[in-house]
Every structure is written in C-alpha cells, then in structure tokens.
C-alpha cells in the first residue's frame, strides 16, 4: 500500500474505534521489507527476502485503556482488532494519568530528515552478495591466522510507519537502513577469538567500503589472540567507543521516565544535581538528519526534538512520554516509543555523549597501568542501585601503550561513582547507531581476575 493508503486506513481505524465507544484512540501501522544475505568462507550461506505489515491500536474509554494488534489488515481483521481493544478497556482500571498528549503538543518536524535513501531498494541481490564477499575476503586475506569466519552479512530494510490519533493527528514517514558486517575468527595455538565490525547507514553512500569493514574486523579479532586473565586490582579503565556506548545505554535506562516515577533508578529525584563529572554532557537529539535515532514525530505524534539530559555533569532532564510526564508533573520530551500494541513506552532519539578534546591515543598515553575495554558481556547492571558488574575483554595498558590482550575478567563499580569518575572524554564521536559515545576514561574500577 502507498503511504497515503496506509494513512487513510489508520484514520479510518481511529474513526471505527470512536464509533465503537472509544473516547480516544491511537493507531500505528508499520510496513517493511527486509533482505538479508550471509556469506561464509566466500560461499553464499543464506538469502532471505520478505515483506510484512501489521497494525496496532490503543483506545481509551474515559481513563481506561485497552489495546490490540493484528497482522490481518483486511476490513474484518481491523474490525476484530478494534473490538478486542474495546473489550480490554473493560478489564483495566481507571488511571487518572492516562490520556493522549495535549493537542498543542502534537506535530512533526517538517522537511526532509534524510531517513530514506532509494538506493537501498535499487541494489540487486548479486551486488549485496558481492559486498559481503569483499568484506569477508578482506578479513580472511589480512593475516594467515584469520583461518575461519562466522561470515559476513549484508542487510537492508525499508519500511513505512504511520500514526494517527483521535485528536486529528496523522503522520507517516518512510525509512531505509543498510548494514554490512563481518565476524572473522582468528586462531593461533590454542587460542581462538572472534570479533566483528560493521558499518550501517540510511543509504549505500553512507557505508564504509567493504574492505575497510573486513580489515577492521580482522584486526580486532587478531589483537585478542593469546589473551590472559590478570590479577584482581583497582585501576583506571578506558572504554573504547563501542563499549562506551553501552554506558550510554545504561544511562538511558536510568533517565527513562518509567524507572524514574517508580523510584527504580539511581537517578530518580536528582534533577538539577551533579551526577557525573564536568566532562560529561549527554544530549538526546531526534532532529539530526540521516541518523538512526531521528524521526519527525514520536509514537504519540509529538515532534522530535533536542533535549540536554546531562550538562557538564548536572542532570538536566529525564526522557518522558505523555504518561510519565504527567506522573512526574512535567512535560513530554517527545520520547514516546511503542511496538504495535500496549501503552506507549519510552525510547531515545540520537542519544550521545558530547565529544571532548583529546584523541583516543592521548587518552591511552595518559594511563600508566590500566585496562582498555573492547568487549563487554552479560547483564550485570542494576539500574535501581547503579551497581555495575560485567564480563570484559580488551587490552592491558602499560606506560601509555597497549601491552597485551586480556579476557575472562570482570569490571565492577557503581554507576554513580563511575559517572563522577569520568576524567577524560575523547574527540572520536561517531554515530554507528542511535546511541553514540567517544572513548572515555574512568578514574578507577575493580577488575576481577585471578
């Protein structure tokens, strides 16, 4: 269906709900086409191609809500979905904070946000396969120790999202995505290590060349070979951009409106207070053209915007949708995010740590004895308390230089102290996803090893 047809369907569905007794309604329709190819040891391993679409509705009857979804967009499927949502409003409780945004809050960013590039759809499967092959070949060819591979993938996605509500908002936008990734395996003696690198963009022109992706992936796998476990000690810890980004994800959970109103975040009740070092400024910006966290309106029809979350270490704003804003006596930050069904949750736009002035090399050079973390595994972060304990791998730093690879260790601390302890922030900010961070140095954490 065209964007206009989908938008018209969303509006009709809202009308049906209102005729059925809803006092408010929100309808989301999403449609998408995906293509994936995986190449392994230069042979095509998988080809996957398909399209799908589905709709979801949330209705209000007074202050009660109900919601439903369906993959059946025929008249009958939509009628059933609307009836299901209305049925469910009968079992929920009056919630004084439930409702749609204020009419004046609705709207969209006008103009082209660069979310859709037609070249993604024009590329033939054979060309996508070739890109993956070139990337994997670059990895395999870099060094004899790269003797195996988990493969290389080229993925594309194009989709359309439509949102309409009973306050008269209707909007739709198209987005595209493509990515190239490689996972080579390095082996030397009894040591076997895998790593990966990827490049992703809205359009083909934004991708790194396949050879660069392959080479970086191979270099990352190679430098892990022969990793050892170190003694347990407290040392400065450097997060490279890939792992620093995970700290931003932890911060997002801590400023997430739902965690905040439930007191389930170590940052609840701390607006206006210093929560991090002065080097730490975090922004959520849904308006940056062409990036992954950009959108003209959020999933309640509120325009995307720029919100300073932490400024020079001071907590300035939480990220809120209409519901959590009302619970907290604040205003929505345009951060509503939802799947197809259920009340809106919260998501971020481009959520990033502002870059600092030092190069990553300068940061490494400033450390006499410390740990440079390139990989984190596990889920050991407690947002309620800030307690942090994760599995880690990376390079040991001696006298300002990488000395040897390390694995099978943990890094632990508390996010309160970790954020306060951010002593240096790098200049190497890159947007490889909707969260981004440059290299950063934390004064001290516990490395758990032997």
Residues in 90-149 that interact with other proteins by CB under 8 A: 91-95, 98, 125, 148-149
Pick 108 or 245: Cβ nearer other proteins? 245
Using rule CB under 8 A, residue 30 touches other proteins: no
Task: Name the minimum Å distance from CB 109 to other proteins.
Answer: 29
Are the beta carbons of 27 and 68 closer than 8 angstroms?
A: no
CA distance 361 to 276: 23
**Choice from 4, 5, 45, 76 touching other proteins (CB under 8 A):** 45
Instruction: For the beta carbon of residue 23, count every other beta carbon within 10 angstroms.
Output: 16
**Choice from 4, 5, 21, 47 touching other proteins (CB under 8 A):** 47
**Looking at residue 42, what DSSP letter applies?**
T
**Choice from 118, 368, 384, 403 touching other proteins (CB under 8 A):** 384
Residue in the block written with tokens 């060094």: 143
**Choice from 11, 16, 24, 66 touching other proteins (CB under 8 A):** 66
Per-residue burial over 66-79, b = 16 or more CB atoms within 10 Å of its CB, e = otherwise? bbbbbeebeeeebe
CA distance 165 to 147: 55
Are the beta carbons of 48 and 67 closer than 8 angstroms?
A: no
Give 190's contacts (C-beta < 8 A, 6+ positions apart). none
Are the beta carbons of 142 and 214 closer than 8 angstroms?
A: yes
Q: Tokens at residue 7, please?
A: 């938008």
CA distance 80 to 61: 17
Pick 67 or 307: Cβ nearer other proteins? 67
Task: Name the minimum Å distance from CB 46 to other proteins.
Answer: 5
Are the beta carbons of 92 and 63 closer than 8 angstroms?
A: no
**Choice from 154, 198, 252, 266 touching other proteins (CB under 8 A):** 266
**Choice from 54, 100, 152, 367 touching other proteins (CB under 8 A):** 54
Site for other proteins in 269-328 (CB under 8 A): none
Q: How far is CA 437 from CA 161, 213, 240, 312, in A?
A: 28, 20, 9, 15
Task: Name the minimum Å distance from CB 359 to other proteins.
Answer: 29
Pick 232 or 357: Cβ nearer other proteins? 232
Task: Name the minimum Å distance from CB 265 to other proteins.
Answer: 9
Using rule CB under 8 A, residue 411 touches other proteins: yes
Task: Name the minimum Å distance from CB 367 to other proteins.
Answer: 20
The C-alpha angle 387, 388, 392, rounded to 5 degrees, equals: 165
Task: Name the minimum Å distance from CB 5 to other proteins.
Answer: 16
**Choice from 237, 341, 364, 442 touching other proteins (CB under 8 A):** 341
Size of site (CB under 8 A) for other proteins: 83
Site string (160-199) toward other proteins, x via CB under 8 A: -------------------------x-----xxxx-----
Rg (CA), the chain: 24
Pick 53 or 316: Cβ nearer other proteins? 53
Per-residue burial over 235-263, b = 16 or more CB atoms within 10 Å of its CB, e = otherwise? bbbbbbbbbbbbbbbbbbbbbbbbbbbee
Of the listed pieces 9-17, 160-168, 257-265, 420-428, which binds other proteins according to CB under 8 A? Answer: 257-265
Are the beta carbons of 136 and 40 closer than 8 angstroms?
A: yes
Pick 33 or 119: Cβ nearer other proteins? 33
**Choice from 150, 219, 249, 253 touching other proteins (CB under 8 A):** 150
Task: Name the minimum Å distance from CB 345 to other proteins.
Answer: 10
Using rule CB under 8 A, residue 245 touches other proteins: no
């Amino acid at each position: 269906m065209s964007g206009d047809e989908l938008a018209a369907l969303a509006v009709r569905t809202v009308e049906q709900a209102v005729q059925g007794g809803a006092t408010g309604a929100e309808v989301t329709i999403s449609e998408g086409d995906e293509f994936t190819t995986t190449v392994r040891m230069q042979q095509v391993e998988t080809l996957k191609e398909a399209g799908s679409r589905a709709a979801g509705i949330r209705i209000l009857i007074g202050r009660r809500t109900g919601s439903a979804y369906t993959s059946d967009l025929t008249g009958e499927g939509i009628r059933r979905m609307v009836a299901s949502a209305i049925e469910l409003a009968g079992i929920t409780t009056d919630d004084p904070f439930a409702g749609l945004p204020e009419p004046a809050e609705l709207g969209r960013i006008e103009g082209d946000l660069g979310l859709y590039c037609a070249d993604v759809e024009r590329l033939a499967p054979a060309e996508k396969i070739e890109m993956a092959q070139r990337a994997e070949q670059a990895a395999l060819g870099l060094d004899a120790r790269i003797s195996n591979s988990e493969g290389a993938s080229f993925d594309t996605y194009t989709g359309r999202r439509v949102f309409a509500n009973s306050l008269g908002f209707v909007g739709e936008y198209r987005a595209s995505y493509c990515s190239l990734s490689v996972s080579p395996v390095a082996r030397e003696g009894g040591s076997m290590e895998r790593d990966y690198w990827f490049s992703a963009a809205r359009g083909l022109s934004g991708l790194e060349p396949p050879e660069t992706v392959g080479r970086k992936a191979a270099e990352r796998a190679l430098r892990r070979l022969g990793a050892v476990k170190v003694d347990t000690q407290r040392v400065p810890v450097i997060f490279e951009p890939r792992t620093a980004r995970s700290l931003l994800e932890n911060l997002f959970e801590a400023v997430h409106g739902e965690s905040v109103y439930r007191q389930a975040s170590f940052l609840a009740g701390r607006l206006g207070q210093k929560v991090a070092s002065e080097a730490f400024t975090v922004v959520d910006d849904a308006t940056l053209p062409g990036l992954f966290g950009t959108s003209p309106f959020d999933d309640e029809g509120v325009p995307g915007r720029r919100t300073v979350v932490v400024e020079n270490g001071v907590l300035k704003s939480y990220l809120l949708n209409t519901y959590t804003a009302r619970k907290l006596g604040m205003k929505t930050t345009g951060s509503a995010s939802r799947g197809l069904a259920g009340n809106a949750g919260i998501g971020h736009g481009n959520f990033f740590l502002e870059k600092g002035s030092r190069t990553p090399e300068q940061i490494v050079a400033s450390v006499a004895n410390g740990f440079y973390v390139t990989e984190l595994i596990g889920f050991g972060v407690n947002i309620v308390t800030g307690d942090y304990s994760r599995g880690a791998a990376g390079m040991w730093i001696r006298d300002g230089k990488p000395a040897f690879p390390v694995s099978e260790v943990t890094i632990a601390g508390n996010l309160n102290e970790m954020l306060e302890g951010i002593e240096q922030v790098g200049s190497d900010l890159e947007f490889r996803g909707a969260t981004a961070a440059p290299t950063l140095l934390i004064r001290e954490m516990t490395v758990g090893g032997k």
